[in-house]
A = this chain, B = another copy of it.
Protein backbone atom coordinates (compact mmCIF):
# COMPACT_ATOMS: atom_id res chain seq x y z
CA UNK A 1 0.00 0.00 0.00
CA UNK A 2 1.67 3.19 -1.11
CA UNK A 3 1.05 6.61 0.34
CA UNK A 4 2.12 8.82 -2.51
CA UNK A 5 0.38 12.13 -2.89
CA UNK A 6 -0.91 13.61 -6.12
CA UNK A 7 -0.34 17.20 -7.17
CA UNK A 8 -3.80 18.20 -5.99
CA UNK A 9 -2.98 16.94 -2.49
CA UNK A 10 -0.16 19.47 -2.18
CA UNK A 11 -0.21 22.54 0.02
CA UNK A 12 0.74 24.76 -2.90
CA UNK A 13 -1.92 23.34 -5.24
CA UNK A 14 -4.75 25.81 -4.49
CA UNK A 15 -2.41 28.69 -5.28
CA UNK A 16 -1.14 26.97 -8.42
CA UNK A 17 -4.63 26.04 -9.57
CA UNK A 18 -5.80 29.64 -9.33
CA UNK A 19 -3.09 30.93 -11.66
CA UNK A 20 -3.88 32.54 -15.00
CA UNK A 21 -1.49 32.33 -17.94
CA UNK A 22 1.12 35.07 -17.62
CA UNK A 23 1.45 37.57 -20.44
CA UNK A 24 4.10 36.55 -22.92
CA UNK A 25 4.32 40.15 -24.08
CA UNK A 26 5.90 40.91 -20.70
CA UNK A 27 7.72 37.62 -20.20
CA UNK A 28 9.46 36.99 -23.51
CA UNK A 29 12.45 39.33 -23.24
CA UNK A 30 16.09 39.20 -24.14
CA UNK A 31 16.87 38.78 -20.44
CA UNK A 32 14.46 35.86 -20.08
CA UNK A 33 16.03 34.12 -23.08
CA UNK A 34 19.35 34.42 -21.27
CA UNK A 35 18.08 33.40 -17.85
CA UNK A 36 15.26 30.89 -18.33
CA UNK A 37 17.65 28.30 -19.62
CA UNK A 38 19.59 25.31 -18.31
CA UNK A 39 21.60 22.32 -19.46
CA UNK A 40 19.70 19.12 -20.27
CA UNK A 41 22.85 17.02 -20.80
CA UNK A 42 24.67 15.87 -23.91
CA UNK A 43 25.16 19.43 -25.10
CA UNK A 44 21.40 20.11 -25.04
CA UNK A 45 19.97 23.25 -23.47
CA UNK A 46 16.38 23.67 -22.31
CA UNK A 47 14.86 27.16 -22.62
CA UNK A 48 11.41 28.14 -21.35
CA UNK A 49 11.57 31.87 -22.02
CA UNK A 50 8.45 31.65 -24.20
CA UNK A 51 6.39 29.78 -21.60
CA UNK A 52 3.42 31.63 -20.14
CA UNK A 53 3.99 31.06 -16.47
CA UNK A 54 5.52 33.55 -14.06
CA UNK A 55 8.59 32.76 -11.97
CA UNK A 56 6.55 32.67 -8.77
CA UNK A 57 4.19 30.08 -10.24
CA UNK A 58 7.17 27.96 -11.16
CA UNK A 59 8.45 28.37 -7.60
CA UNK A 60 5.11 27.04 -6.30
CA UNK A 61 5.43 24.08 -8.65
CA UNK A 62 8.91 23.35 -7.29
CA UNK A 63 7.38 23.46 -3.80
CA UNK A 64 4.86 20.86 -4.90
CA UNK A 65 7.65 18.79 -6.43
CA UNK A 66 9.42 18.80 -3.09
CA UNK A 67 6.24 17.87 -1.23
CA UNK A 68 5.62 15.04 -3.70
CA UNK A 69 9.27 14.01 -3.32
CA UNK A 70 9.64 13.64 -7.08
CA UNK A 71 13.41 13.32 -6.83
CA UNK A 72 13.13 10.75 -4.05
CA UNK A 73 10.69 8.73 -6.14
CA UNK A 74 13.07 8.85 -9.09
CA UNK A 75 15.93 7.79 -6.81
CA UNK A 76 13.83 4.88 -5.55
CA UNK A 77 12.94 3.87 -9.07
CA UNK A 78 16.49 4.01 -10.37
CA UNK A 79 17.61 2.26 -7.20
CA UNK A 80 15.44 -0.79 -7.84
CA UNK A 81 12.18 -0.17 -5.97
CA UNK A 82 9.09 -1.86 -7.41
CA UNK A 83 7.73 1.29 -9.09
CA UNK A 84 5.63 -0.55 -11.68
CA UNK A 85 3.12 -1.43 -9.00
CA UNK A 86 0.49 -2.93 -11.31
CA UNK A 87 2.82 -5.54 -12.73
CA UNK A 88 4.92 -5.68 -9.54
CA UNK A 89 8.13 -4.96 -11.41
CA UNK A 90 11.19 -2.80 -11.01
CA UNK A 91 11.73 -0.09 -13.62
CA UNK A 92 15.35 -0.21 -14.63
CA UNK A 93 15.85 1.53 -17.96
CA UNK A 94 18.22 4.04 -16.31
CA UNK A 95 20.51 1.10 -15.53
CA UNK A 96 21.00 0.57 -19.25
CA UNK A 97 23.28 3.58 -19.35
CA UNK A 98 24.48 4.16 -15.82
CA UNK A 99 23.67 3.85 -12.16
CA UNK A 100 22.27 7.25 -11.23
CA UNK A 101 21.11 5.99 -7.82
CA UNK A 102 23.86 3.43 -7.31
CA UNK A 103 24.04 -0.26 -8.17
CA UNK A 104 20.94 -2.44 -8.24
CA UNK A 105 21.73 -5.97 -7.15
CA UNK A 106 18.90 -8.44 -6.51
CA UNK A 107 19.02 -12.20 -6.12
CA UNK A 108 22.65 -12.20 -7.10
CA UNK A 109 22.18 -10.21 -10.29
CA UNK A 110 23.87 -6.87 -10.77
CA UNK A 111 21.52 -5.30 -13.32
CA UNK A 112 23.83 -2.70 -14.77
CA UNK A 113 26.47 -5.40 -15.22
CA UNK A 114 23.89 -7.67 -16.89
CA UNK A 115 22.86 -5.00 -19.38
CA UNK A 116 26.50 -4.16 -20.02
CA UNK A 117 27.32 -7.81 -20.61
CA UNK A 118 24.60 -7.99 -23.26
CA UNK A 119 25.89 -4.77 -24.79
CA UNK A 120 29.39 -6.22 -25.00
CA UNK A 121 27.97 -9.30 -26.73
CA UNK A 122 25.98 -7.41 -29.32
CA UNK A 123 28.83 -4.92 -29.83
CA UNK A 124 31.13 -7.81 -30.72
CA UNK A 125 28.43 -9.28 -32.94
CA UNK A 126 27.96 -5.92 -34.68
CA UNK A 127 31.69 -5.56 -35.25
CA UNK A 128 31.92 -9.02 -36.81
CA UNK A 129 29.06 -8.18 -39.17
CA UNK A 130 30.35 -4.70 -40.01
CA UNK A 131 33.81 -6.05 -40.77
CA UNK A 132 32.40 -8.76 -43.02
CA UNK A 133 33.67 -11.57 -40.81
CA UNK A 134 30.15 -12.77 -40.18
CA UNK A 135 28.26 -13.21 -43.45
CA UNK A 136 25.02 -14.54 -44.82
CA UNK A 137 24.60 -18.25 -45.45
CA UNK A 138 25.41 -17.86 -49.15
CA UNK A 139 28.64 -16.01 -48.40
CA UNK A 140 27.52 -12.44 -49.06
CA UNK A 141 28.36 -9.76 -46.50
CA UNK A 142 25.35 -8.23 -44.80
CA UNK A 143 24.46 -4.78 -46.12
CA UNK A 144 20.89 -4.48 -44.83
CA UNK A 145 19.26 -5.14 -41.51
CA UNK A 146 15.51 -5.40 -40.90
CA UNK A 147 14.02 -5.06 -37.44
CA UNK A 148 10.78 -7.00 -36.94
CA UNK A 149 8.98 -5.56 -33.92
CA UNK A 150 6.07 -3.33 -32.95
CA UNK A 151 5.41 -0.55 -30.43
CA UNK A 152 8.51 0.11 -28.37
CA UNK A 153 10.40 -2.48 -30.43
CA UNK A 154 9.81 -0.31 -33.47
CA UNK A 155 9.15 3.37 -32.75
CA UNK A 156 12.14 4.23 -30.55
CA UNK A 157 14.75 2.29 -32.55
CA UNK A 158 13.34 3.62 -35.84
CA UNK A 159 13.33 7.23 -34.59
CA UNK A 160 16.93 6.92 -33.37
CA UNK A 161 18.13 5.23 -36.56
CA UNK A 162 16.62 7.93 -38.75
CA UNK A 163 18.02 10.60 -36.44
CA UNK A 164 21.56 9.41 -37.11
CA UNK A 165 21.38 7.88 -40.59
CA UNK A 166 22.76 10.96 -42.41
CA UNK A 167 25.12 11.73 -39.55
CA UNK A 168 26.64 8.26 -39.92
CA UNK A 169 26.66 8.31 -43.70
CA UNK A 170 28.52 11.62 -43.73
CA UNK A 171 31.15 10.05 -41.45
CA UNK A 172 31.35 6.81 -43.47
CA UNK A 173 29.98 4.84 -40.52
CA UNK A 174 26.76 3.69 -42.18
CA UNK A 175 27.91 0.17 -43.00
CA UNK A 176 24.42 -1.36 -43.00
CA UNK A 177 21.11 0.33 -43.81
CA UNK A 178 18.06 -0.39 -41.68
CA UNK A 179 14.43 -1.12 -42.50
CA UNK A 180 11.57 -1.93 -40.17
CA UNK A 181 8.61 -4.28 -40.35
CA UNK A 182 6.00 -3.63 -37.69
CA UNK A 183 2.39 -3.73 -38.85
CA UNK A 184 0.53 -7.04 -39.06
CA UNK A 185 -0.79 -5.69 -42.36
CA UNK A 186 1.12 -7.98 -44.78
CA UNK A 187 1.58 -5.09 -47.22
CA UNK A 188 4.12 -3.73 -44.73
CA UNK A 189 6.39 -6.79 -44.76
CA UNK A 190 5.89 -7.44 -48.47
CA UNK A 191 6.79 -3.86 -49.32
CA UNK A 192 9.98 -3.94 -47.25
CA UNK A 193 11.03 -7.35 -48.57
CA UNK A 194 10.52 -6.33 -52.19
CA UNK A 195 13.42 -3.90 -51.85
CA UNK A 196 15.91 -6.33 -50.32
CA UNK A 197 18.31 -9.02 -51.38
CA UNK A 198 17.66 -11.70 -48.72
CA UNK A 199 21.17 -13.10 -49.11
CA UNK A 200 22.72 -9.90 -47.77
CA UNK A 201 20.03 -9.13 -45.22
CA UNK A 202 20.06 -9.77 -41.50
CA UNK A 203 16.77 -9.79 -39.57
CA UNK A 204 16.34 -8.87 -35.91
CA UNK A 205 13.26 -10.33 -34.29
CA UNK A 206 12.31 -8.23 -31.24
CA UNK A 207 9.74 -9.33 -28.69
CA UNK A 208 10.34 -9.30 -24.95
CA UNK A 209 7.74 -11.95 -24.29
CA UNK A 210 8.33 -13.83 -27.52
CA UNK A 211 4.55 -13.95 -27.99
CA UNK A 212 3.67 -10.65 -29.71
CA UNK A 213 1.06 -11.57 -32.32
CA UNK A 214 2.13 -9.09 -35.01
CA UNK A 215 5.81 -9.87 -34.65
CA UNK A 216 5.40 -13.64 -34.85
CA UNK A 217 3.10 -13.30 -37.85
CA UNK A 218 5.69 -11.12 -39.56
CA UNK A 219 8.44 -13.58 -38.69
CA UNK A 220 6.41 -16.35 -40.29
CA UNK A 221 5.89 -14.28 -43.42
CA UNK A 222 9.60 -13.44 -43.64
CA UNK A 223 10.62 -17.08 -43.09
CA UNK A 224 8.23 -18.22 -45.81
CA UNK A 225 9.89 -15.77 -48.19
CA UNK A 226 13.40 -16.77 -47.16
CA UNK A 227 12.58 -20.44 -47.64
CA UNK A 228 12.18 -19.86 -51.37
CA UNK A 229 15.74 -18.53 -51.77
CA UNK A 230 17.97 -21.38 -53.04
CA UNK A 231 20.76 -22.24 -50.62
CA UNK A 232 19.75 -19.74 -47.97
CA UNK A 233 19.65 -20.95 -44.37
CA UNK A 234 17.27 -18.69 -42.51
CA UNK A 235 18.77 -19.37 -39.08
CA UNK A 236 21.96 -17.71 -40.29
CA UNK A 237 20.00 -14.55 -41.16
CA UNK A 238 18.07 -13.87 -37.99
CA UNK A 239 18.90 -12.90 -34.42
CA UNK A 240 16.45 -12.47 -31.57
CA UNK A 241 16.16 -9.76 -28.92
CA UNK A 242 14.01 -11.09 -26.13
CA UNK A 243 13.92 -12.02 -22.46
CA UNK A 244 15.84 -15.03 -21.21
CA UNK A 245 12.60 -16.86 -20.39
CA UNK A 246 10.89 -16.37 -23.76
CA UNK A 247 10.45 -19.09 -26.39
CA UNK A 248 12.83 -17.13 -28.62
CA UNK A 249 15.72 -17.41 -26.16
CA UNK A 250 18.48 -19.93 -26.85
CA UNK A 251 16.57 -21.11 -29.85
CA UNK A 252 18.51 -22.80 -32.67
CA UNK A 253 16.27 -21.02 -35.18
CA UNK A 254 18.35 -17.91 -34.57
CA UNK A 255 21.97 -17.08 -35.16
CA UNK A 256 22.17 -15.51 -31.72
CA UNK A 257 19.93 -14.02 -29.01
CA UNK A 258 20.45 -10.84 -26.99
CA UNK A 259 18.58 -10.28 -23.78
CA UNK A 260 16.54 -7.73 -21.93
CA UNK A 261 14.26 -8.44 -18.97
CA UNK A 262 10.90 -7.58 -17.47
CA UNK A 263 12.28 -4.42 -15.93
CA UNK A 264 12.74 -2.68 -19.30
CA UNK A 265 9.36 -1.46 -20.54
CA UNK A 266 8.86 -1.50 -24.29
CA UNK A 267 8.62 2.27 -24.67
CA UNK A 268 11.70 2.68 -22.44
CA UNK A 269 13.76 0.07 -24.31
CA UNK A 270 15.49 2.13 -27.00
CA UNK A 271 18.77 2.17 -25.02
CA UNK A 272 18.62 -1.62 -24.41
CA UNK A 273 19.38 -4.38 -26.89
CA UNK A 274 16.02 -3.50 -28.50
CA UNK A 275 17.61 -0.38 -29.96
CA UNK A 276 21.21 -1.33 -29.37
CA UNK A 277 21.56 -4.27 -31.75
CA UNK A 278 20.27 -2.49 -34.82
CA UNK A 279 21.99 0.82 -34.03
CA UNK A 280 25.30 -0.91 -33.34
CA UNK A 281 25.02 -2.84 -36.60
CA UNK A 282 24.17 0.22 -38.69
CA UNK A 283 26.10 3.03 -37.02
CA UNK A 284 28.71 1.13 -35.03
CA UNK A 285 28.95 0.23 -31.33
CA UNK A 286 30.77 3.50 -30.62
CA UNK A 287 27.85 5.59 -31.85
CA UNK A 288 25.49 3.57 -29.69
CA UNK A 289 27.82 4.13 -26.73
CA UNK A 290 27.57 7.85 -27.44
CA UNK A 291 23.79 7.66 -27.15
CA UNK A 292 24.13 5.96 -23.77
CA UNK A 293 26.62 8.57 -22.63
CA UNK A 294 24.27 11.44 -23.46
CA UNK A 295 21.36 9.64 -21.80
CA UNK A 296 23.42 9.01 -18.67
CA UNK A 297 24.26 12.71 -18.44
CA UNK A 298 20.59 13.61 -18.66
CA UNK A 299 19.73 10.99 -16.04
CA UNK A 300 22.20 12.49 -13.57
CA UNK A 301 21.00 16.05 -14.19
CA UNK A 302 17.43 14.87 -13.53
CA UNK A 303 18.48 14.08 -9.96
CA UNK A 304 19.47 17.66 -9.24
CA UNK A 305 17.60 19.33 -6.40
CA UNK A 306 18.62 22.79 -7.56
CA UNK A 307 15.58 24.06 -9.47
CA UNK A 308 17.48 25.86 -12.22
CA UNK A 309 19.62 22.79 -12.91
CA UNK A 310 16.99 20.13 -13.54
CA UNK A 311 15.61 20.48 -17.05
CA UNK A 312 13.52 17.28 -17.05
CA UNK A 313 11.83 18.24 -13.78
CA UNK A 314 11.22 21.81 -14.91
CA UNK A 315 9.82 20.65 -18.24
CA UNK A 316 7.57 18.15 -16.43
CA UNK A 317 6.19 20.79 -14.07
CA UNK A 318 5.58 23.21 -16.92
CA UNK A 319 3.71 20.49 -18.79
CA UNK A 320 1.56 19.75 -15.77
CA UNK A 321 0.82 23.47 -15.42
CA UNK A 322 -0.35 23.53 -19.05
CA UNK A 323 -2.47 20.41 -18.60
CA UNK A 324 -3.98 20.88 -15.15
CA UNK A 325 -4.07 24.63 -14.63
CA UNK A 326 -4.54 26.00 -18.13
CA UNK A 327 -6.48 22.83 -19.06
CA UNK A 328 -4.83 22.38 -22.44
CA UNK A 329 -5.42 18.80 -23.57
CA UNK A 330 -2.80 18.45 -26.29
CA UNK A 331 0.77 19.41 -27.01
CA UNK A 332 2.85 19.44 -30.19
CA UNK A 333 6.47 18.31 -30.51
CA UNK A 334 8.08 20.15 -33.40
CA UNK A 335 11.69 19.28 -34.23
CA UNK A 336 13.30 21.69 -36.68
CA UNK A 337 15.29 18.77 -38.01
CA UNK A 338 14.29 16.40 -40.78
CA UNK A 339 16.36 13.67 -39.14
CA UNK A 340 13.90 13.73 -36.22
CA UNK A 341 10.95 13.04 -38.54
CA UNK A 342 9.82 10.03 -36.49
CA UNK A 343 10.87 11.27 -33.07
CA UNK A 344 7.39 12.72 -32.37
CA UNK A 345 5.88 9.28 -33.05
CA UNK A 346 8.20 7.81 -30.43
CA UNK A 347 7.28 10.52 -27.93
CA UNK A 348 3.63 9.96 -28.72
CA UNK A 349 3.98 6.39 -27.50
CA UNK A 350 6.29 7.27 -24.61
CA UNK A 351 3.95 9.90 -23.23
CA UNK A 352 0.47 8.70 -24.15
CA UNK A 353 1.05 5.05 -23.26
CA UNK A 354 2.77 5.97 -19.99
CA UNK A 355 0.39 8.63 -18.72
CA UNK A 356 -2.88 8.05 -20.57
CA UNK A 357 -4.45 6.69 -17.40
CA UNK A 358 -7.35 7.42 -15.07
CA UNK A 359 -6.22 5.54 -11.98
CA UNK A 360 -3.94 6.60 -9.15
CA UNK A 361 -1.40 4.25 -7.64
CA UNK A 362 -3.66 3.79 -4.62
CA UNK A 363 -6.39 2.34 -6.87
CA UNK A 364 -8.60 5.44 -6.68
CA UNK A 365 -9.68 7.52 -9.64
CA UNK A 366 -7.60 10.55 -10.55
CA UNK A 367 -9.30 13.83 -9.71
CA UNK A 368 -7.40 15.70 -12.39
CA UNK A 369 -6.60 15.19 -16.07
CA UNK A 370 -3.56 13.05 -16.85
CA UNK A 371 -1.38 12.80 -20.00
CA UNK A 372 -2.14 14.99 -23.02
CA UNK A 373 -2.48 14.07 -26.67
CA UNK A 374 1.00 14.36 -28.20
CA UNK A 375 1.55 14.88 -31.92
CA UNK A 376 4.05 16.58 -34.19
CA UNK A 377 5.90 16.84 -37.46
CA UNK A 378 9.23 18.45 -38.38
CA UNK A 379 9.50 22.16 -39.09
CA UNK A 380 9.54 23.95 -41.42
CA UNK A 381 7.15 21.38 -42.95
CA UNK A 382 4.54 21.95 -40.24
CA UNK A 383 4.55 25.68 -40.96
CA UNK A 384 3.00 24.87 -44.33
CA UNK A 385 0.49 22.54 -42.74
CA UNK A 386 -1.14 22.60 -39.30
CA UNK A 387 0.62 25.71 -37.92
CA UNK A 388 -2.40 27.71 -39.14
CA UNK A 389 -4.44 26.19 -36.31
CA UNK A 390 -1.63 26.67 -33.83
CA UNK A 391 -1.54 30.41 -34.67
CA UNK A 392 -5.19 31.22 -35.19
CA UNK A 393 -7.22 28.22 -34.02
CA UNK A 394 -9.69 28.27 -31.14
CA UNK A 395 -7.42 27.19 -28.33
CA UNK A 396 -3.72 27.77 -27.54
CA UNK A 397 -1.71 24.62 -27.06
CA UNK A 398 1.80 24.38 -25.68
CA UNK A 399 4.51 23.73 -28.26
CA UNK A 400 7.81 21.94 -27.76
CA UNK A 401 10.51 22.91 -30.25
CA UNK A 402 13.76 21.03 -30.80
CA UNK A 403 16.61 22.57 -32.79
CA UNK A 404 20.28 22.29 -33.73
CA UNK A 405 22.75 24.95 -34.79
CA UNK A 406 24.63 22.82 -37.32
CA UNK A 407 23.82 20.43 -40.15
CA UNK A 408 24.49 16.73 -40.11
CA UNK A 409 25.47 16.78 -43.78
CA UNK A 410 28.13 18.97 -45.30
CA UNK A 411 26.54 20.48 -48.39
CA UNK A 412 24.73 23.76 -47.77
CA UNK A 413 25.45 26.44 -50.37
CA UNK A 414 24.13 29.93 -49.66
CA UNK A 415 21.06 30.96 -51.66
CA UNK A 416 19.71 34.51 -51.63
CA UNK A 417 22.24 35.47 -49.01
CA UNK A 418 21.84 32.68 -46.47
CA UNK A 419 22.42 28.98 -46.06
CA UNK A 420 19.48 26.63 -45.72
CA UNK A 421 20.48 25.98 -42.10
CA UNK A 422 20.27 29.68 -41.31
CA UNK A 423 16.90 29.90 -43.04
CA UNK A 424 15.66 26.91 -41.04
CA UNK A 425 16.64 28.36 -37.69
CA UNK A 426 15.54 31.87 -38.62
CA UNK A 427 12.14 30.39 -39.29
CA UNK A 428 12.08 28.79 -35.85
CA UNK A 429 13.09 32.00 -34.06
CA UNK A 430 10.35 33.79 -35.99
CA UNK A 431 7.74 31.18 -35.10
CA UNK A 432 8.54 31.22 -31.38
CA UNK A 433 8.16 35.00 -31.31
CA UNK A 434 5.09 35.03 -33.55
CA UNK A 435 3.33 32.45 -31.39
CA UNK A 436 4.20 34.30 -28.20
CA UNK A 437 3.60 37.90 -29.17
CA UNK A 438 1.11 37.74 -32.04
CA UNK A 439 0.31 40.87 -34.00
CA UNK A 440 -2.59 43.25 -34.22
CA UNK A 441 -3.95 44.35 -37.59
CA UNK A 442 -6.77 46.48 -38.90
CA UNK A 443 -7.89 43.43 -40.93
CA UNK A 444 -9.26 40.98 -38.34
CA UNK A 445 -8.21 38.06 -40.57
CA UNK A 446 -4.58 39.17 -40.22
CA UNK A 447 -4.73 39.43 -36.44
CA UNK A 448 -2.65 36.99 -34.40
CA UNK A 449 -3.79 36.64 -30.81
CA UNK A 450 -0.35 35.57 -29.53
CA UNK A 451 -0.10 34.15 -26.02
CA UNK A 452 0.80 30.77 -27.49
CA UNK A 453 3.56 29.33 -25.35
CA UNK A 454 6.52 27.14 -26.28
CA UNK A 455 9.66 25.58 -24.90
CA UNK A 456 12.88 24.88 -26.75
CA UNK A 457 15.53 22.18 -26.58
CA UNK A 458 18.60 23.21 -28.56
CA UNK A 459 22.06 21.73 -29.16
CA UNK A 460 24.94 22.44 -31.49
CA UNK A 461 24.34 19.31 -33.48
CA UNK A 462 22.26 16.19 -33.61
CA UNK A 463 24.83 13.52 -32.79
CA UNK A 464 24.72 10.39 -30.60
CA UNK A 465 25.30 12.31 -27.36
CA UNK A 466 22.67 15.01 -27.86
CA UNK A 467 20.24 12.40 -29.18
CA UNK A 468 20.73 10.22 -26.10
CA UNK A 469 20.17 13.22 -23.85
CA UNK A 470 17.04 14.17 -25.80
CA UNK A 471 15.63 10.68 -25.43
CA UNK A 472 16.36 10.50 -21.70
CA UNK A 473 15.08 14.03 -21.10
CA UNK A 474 11.66 12.98 -22.32
CA UNK A 475 11.72 9.64 -20.49
CA UNK A 476 12.47 11.48 -17.26
CA UNK A 477 9.95 14.22 -17.95
CA UNK A 478 7.19 11.67 -18.50
CA UNK A 479 8.26 9.80 -15.33
CA UNK A 480 8.08 12.99 -13.24
CA UNK A 481 4.67 13.83 -14.66
CA UNK A 482 3.38 10.36 -13.79
CA UNK A 483 4.61 10.92 -10.24
CA UNK A 484 2.78 14.30 -10.16
CA UNK A 485 -0.46 12.57 -11.06
CA UNK A 486 0.32 9.66 -8.75
CA UNK A 487 -0.27 7.14 -11.52
CA UNK A 488 1.70 4.14 -12.69
CA UNK A 489 3.49 5.21 -15.88
CA UNK A 490 4.93 1.76 -16.47
CA UNK A 491 2.05 -0.57 -17.23
CA UNK A 492 -0.40 -0.51 -20.16
CA UNK A 493 -3.56 -2.35 -19.18
CA UNK A 494 -5.45 -0.33 -21.80
CA UNK A 495 -4.11 -2.55 -24.57
CA UNK A 496 -5.45 -5.80 -23.10
CA UNK A 497 -9.16 -5.70 -23.91
CA UNK A 498 -8.53 -5.39 -27.62
CA UNK A 499 -6.29 -8.46 -27.53
CA UNK A 500 -9.01 -10.52 -25.83
CA UNK A 501 -11.68 -9.48 -28.33
CA UNK A 502 -9.34 -10.10 -31.28
CA UNK A 503 -8.90 -13.68 -30.13
CA UNK A 504 -12.69 -14.06 -30.01
CA UNK A 505 -12.97 -12.86 -33.61
CA UNK A 506 -10.27 -15.27 -34.77
CA UNK A 507 -11.58 -18.24 -32.77
CA UNK A 508 -13.42 -21.08 -34.48
CA UNK A 509 -17.05 -20.12 -34.89
CA UNK A 510 -16.29 -16.43 -34.44
CA UNK A 511 -17.28 -14.18 -31.56
CA UNK A 512 -20.49 -14.69 -29.59
CA UNK A 513 -21.20 -10.98 -29.17
CA UNK A 514 -23.51 -10.05 -32.08
CA UNK A 515 -22.11 -6.51 -32.48
CA UNK A 516 -18.53 -7.77 -32.56
CA UNK A 517 -19.57 -10.46 -35.01
CA UNK A 518 -21.33 -7.96 -37.27
CA UNK A 519 -18.35 -5.58 -37.19
CA UNK A 520 -15.93 -8.40 -37.97
CA UNK A 521 -18.19 -9.48 -40.80
CA UNK A 522 -18.31 -5.96 -42.24
CA UNK A 523 -14.52 -5.98 -42.21
CA UNK A 524 -14.28 -9.41 -43.82
CA UNK A 525 -12.52 -10.85 -40.76
CA UNK A 526 -14.76 -13.84 -40.05
Contacts and interface: CB of A to CB of B under 8 A. Distances in A.
Contact of A413 (B221, B446, B488, B502): B221
B405 A524 contact: yes
Contacts of A405: 523-524
A220 B406 CA distance: 19
6 contacts: A183-B378, A183-B380, A186-B407, A214-B384, A220-B415, A348-B386
A185 B217 contact: no
Interface string A206-241: 000000011011101100110000000000000000
Contact of A266 (B28, B186, B373, B384): B384
B186 A497 contact: no
A415 B369 contact: no
A2 interface: no
A167 to B, nearest CB: 9
A391 B379 CA distance: 30
B187 A415 contact: no
Given A191-B165, A369-B395, A359 B445 contact: yes
A517 B30 contact: yes
B352 A389 contact: yes
Interface stretch (A196-204, A291-299, A425-433): A425-433
A483 to B, nearest CB: 17
Interface string A388-423: 111111110100000101111111110111111111
Interface stretch (A65-73, A137-145, A151-159): A151-159
Interface in A29-46: 29-30, 32-34
Interface stretch (A274-282, A329-337, A470-478): A329-337
Listed from nearest, the 3 A-B pairs whose CB atoms lie closest are A356-B389, A151-B384, A430-B501
A523 B185 contact: no
Given A169-B194, A183-B338, A427-B498, A357 B523 contact: no
B373 A397 contact: yes
Question: Size class of A's contact patch?
Answer: 35 or more
> Which of A151, A190, A336, A363: most chain B Cβ within 10 A?
A190
Given A432-B519, A448-B494, A187 B409 contact: yes
B445 A493 contact: yes
A389 B446 CA distance: 36
Contact of A430 (B86, B191, B516): B516
Contact of A182 (B151, B349, B381, B417): B381
A201 to B, nearest CB: 16
A336 B187 CA distance: 11
A190 B217 contact: no
Contact of A375 (B186, B373, B407, B524): B373
B514 A330 contact: no
Contacts of A524: 405-406, 422, 425
A397 B155 CA distance: 23
A403 to B, nearest CB: 6
A132 interface: no
B391 A495 contact: yes
Interface in A421-462: 421-434, 437-439, 444-446, 448-449, 456, 458
Contacts of A519: 33, 49-50, 429, 432-433
B381 A183 contact: yes
A305 to B, nearest CB: 27
A227 to B, nearest CB: 10
Contacts of A430: 498-502, 504-505, 516
A315 interface: no
Contacts of A147: none
A174 to B, nearest CB: 10
A375 B375 contact: yes
Contacts of A256: none
A375 B366 CA distance: 26
Interface string A262-301: 0000110000000000000000000000000000000000
A392 B493 contact: yes
A348 B498 contact: no
Nearest to A185: B338
Contact of A150 (B266, B384, B388, B415): B384
A516 B419 CA distance: 19
Interface string A370-386: 11011101111101111
